[in-house]
Amino acid sequence: MFRTLLRPASRSGGPRPDPWRLTATMSYSTSKDTMAKKAKKTGKSKNDPAAAADDAVSEVDAALSGQNSRARQLQADEKDRSLDVGPNGRPLFTSTPTLSQLSRKDTCSYFKLKMEELNNVLPEGLPLGMVKEFEDAMQSAVIIRQSFLDLRDNFRRIVDPPLDSVSSKGTRAQKQIVLDGPVSCGKSITLAMLVQWAREEGWLVLYVPRGREWTHGGFFYKNPQTGLWDTPVQAENILKDFLKYNESHLKQLSCQILDPIPLGEGAGVGWMRDGTDSMAMPEGSTLYDLVNSGIRHTHAAVGVVVRLRKELSLVKNIPMLIAIDQYNNWFTFSEYEEPVTVRSTRPIHAKELSTVKAFRSMRHDDMMVGAFSHSTAVGKLRQDLPDVPVDARVNLSRYTLDEAAAVCHYYLRQRLIRREAFTENNWKKVYYLSNGNGAEMRWLVPLMRADS
């Protein structure tokens, strides 16, 4: 058995908070000259550690005070609907109540979300980009883009084909899609919105917001029966996440495969002491029973995940969707290494992991969406990916000029931009400077200055 090396907490800046938990994580800095001036006023040297510490605390306190003041102003702004104005006098926020009812007329407007409801419908976690957007804007709202409506309508046509074939405009619905595109073009947020829509429609959705975690961390060992590498810790987490929202659906779906589930090595406990190598599923078991058995018995976790993938293909009572973010991590090497000699190791590819191999392929008849995430820095992948149909890739673009106009008006509304500095010329400068990159635009807009 091999254990992955745990990196010291100091290298990652301490324990990382849950990706979906909104926290005030702002970075503050001050120049040396400013610190020297403050030290001079207080009679302390700029090289005095105590003075530097005091100045740093003062800067943080001032920044937090500014954030608190902005939050109070935004709370008061909620009562003034005259501020909710977008480009060309259009409403900044859509009045459409659900993602299902959104139409083309709602594009380039914002859809407000309630964090409690969002955390309930996406208990596995939110994309980090979405969390950062909510934190900086101090508002849980997303811009409605045509790319999301096209993706939603694609899967809607699969489940509920239009009666009039002419209405589909000759487009063929795709069951397997890979969302690709430049950095910070909104792939992860689009996928999360699709999952929210599908679940609100009553679908069974297996959502993986952090596909990279399937290939990093925990225990790993080679299963002599399959020749693949099993990761029981990840398998248990996969099952727990799947159960969070889908419990009611799973209790109503019967298992179609009743073959014994192979047992493997448990997380940190080795093989079964009595030599048992399989676990029977009683007749009449539900998918809830199957998933729960993998959570309760660490030796069965990987086998249950592999069996679950086969069972999901047999679900016909309700629409079923598999949605994988950071999908590109499944086409490169994992964190794990296999010893080859006393002094050398071989990196283990993601396709050699039992869980990844069970879910990676798109060559089937099930609905599946994978989103590439460039934040995980796995490098550029070739165009023709194994196990992925050639026509599956859909490229999302960065913000268009119309979308950028709506975004900048929204940031003005949320007081990220000073009103006296906001002009069409200035926000267009930000758009062209960032090339439509959403994260860069959000970083640049507070730097707007009034024209002299």
Whether the predicted pLDDT of 340 surpasses 70? yes
Q: What is the pLDDT of residue 36?
A: 46
Give the residue extent of every domain in the chain.
81-144+400-447, 199-395
- pLDDT grade for 383, boundaries at 50, 70 and 90: confident
> Under 8 Å CB-to-CB from 39, ≥6 apart: which residues?
45, 46, 48, 51, 55
| CA geometry: angle 374, 188, 119, nearest 5 deg | 135
> Under 8 Å CB-to-CB from 349, ≥6 apart: which residues?
332, 333, 334
Please indicate whether residue 6 or residue 385 has the higher confidence score (pLDDT).
Answer: 385
> How is residue 301 written in tokens?
């976790």
Q: What is the pLDDT of residue 47?
A: 58
- CA diameter of the chain: 81
Q: How many residues does the chain have?
A: 452
Q: What is the pLDDT of residue 8?
A: 35
Whether the predicted pLDDT of 334 surpasses 90? yes
- Are 365 and 317 within 8 A, CB to CB? no
- Are 234 and 213 within 8 A, CB to CB? yes
Q: At what angle do helices 187-200 and 146-159 cross, to 10 degrees?
A: 40
The DSSP line for 163-224 is: SSGGGGTTPPP-SEEEEE-STTSSHHHHHHHHHHHHHHTT-EEEEES-GGGGGSSSEEEE-T
Please indicate whether residue 170 or residue 187 has the higher confidence score (pLDDT).
Answer: 187
> How is residue 317 written in tokens?
């009572």
Whether the predicted pLDDT of 220 surpasses 50? yes
Which stretches of 241-312 are assigned E, i.e. beta strand? 261-262, 278-279
Q: What is the pLDDT of residue 49?
A: 64
Instruction: Report d(CA 320, CA 202) in Å as an integer.
Output: 10
Q: What is the pLDDT of residue 14?
A: 43
How big is the chain by its Cα radius of gyration, in Å? 25
Instruction: Report d(CA 6, CA 444) in Å as an integer.
Output: 36
Closest by Cα among 22, 24, 36 to 60 = 24
The lowest-confidence range among 123-127, 380-384, 420-424 is 380-384
Instruction: Report d(CA 369, CA 360) in Å as an integer.
Output: 11
Q: What is the pLDDT of residue 364?
A: 95
Instruction: Report d(CA 69, CA 18) in Å as an integer.
Output: 26
Within a 10 A sphere around the Cβ of 400, how many other Cβ atoms? Answer: 15
Whether the predicted pLDDT of 257 surpasses 90? yes
- pLDDT grade for 409, boundaries at 50, 70 and 90: very high
Whether the predicted pLDDT of 268 surpasses 90? no
Whether the predicted pLDDT of 35 surpasses 60? no
Q: How many angstroms separate the Cα of 162 from the Cα of each of 104, 168, 203? A: 18, 7, 19
Within a 10 A sphere around the Cβ of 267, how many other Cβ atoms? Answer: 21
